[in-house]
Amino acid sequence: MSRNTKINLLLLVVVAALAVLPLALGLGDHKKEPFTGADGEAESAITEIEPDYKPWFSPLYEPPSGEIESALFSLQAALGAGVLAYYFGLHRGRRQGEARALAQPETAKSPAGPGAEEV
């Protein structure tokens, strides 16, 4: 097993542990909604501190249901992952192209290129 394979397997185990451990340990069982987002947590903390708090602005678009909100969030995450994958793939391809260009021996020193006869 290569070193990269071991590292990838270790990272996979860590990610799986991060996903499963909160559920297995019962973290959040004392709450009404155990795994709400950061926005919900912030809103509840603010209303506990100051019950008369009024937000400065309202959202531009409020999805009609939680399913649509989740779908839009997933779409946003997928687009972001696609942009990052494109960038890293492009960067790696350029690096590999440069390495291949440097590894090739010089075929001809004349400006006419390879296969040209010298006079």
Give the model's pLDDT for residue 37. Answer: 72
Q: What is the DSSP letter of 111?
A: T
- Residues 1-16 have pLDDT tens digits of 899 999 999 999 999 9
Give the model's pLDDT for residue 80. Answer: 97
Rounded distance, CA 51 to CA 88, Å? Answer: 47
Q: What is the DSSP letter of 104?
A: S
Across the range 20-28, mean pLDDT stands at 80
Give me the residue label for tokens 């909100």.
69
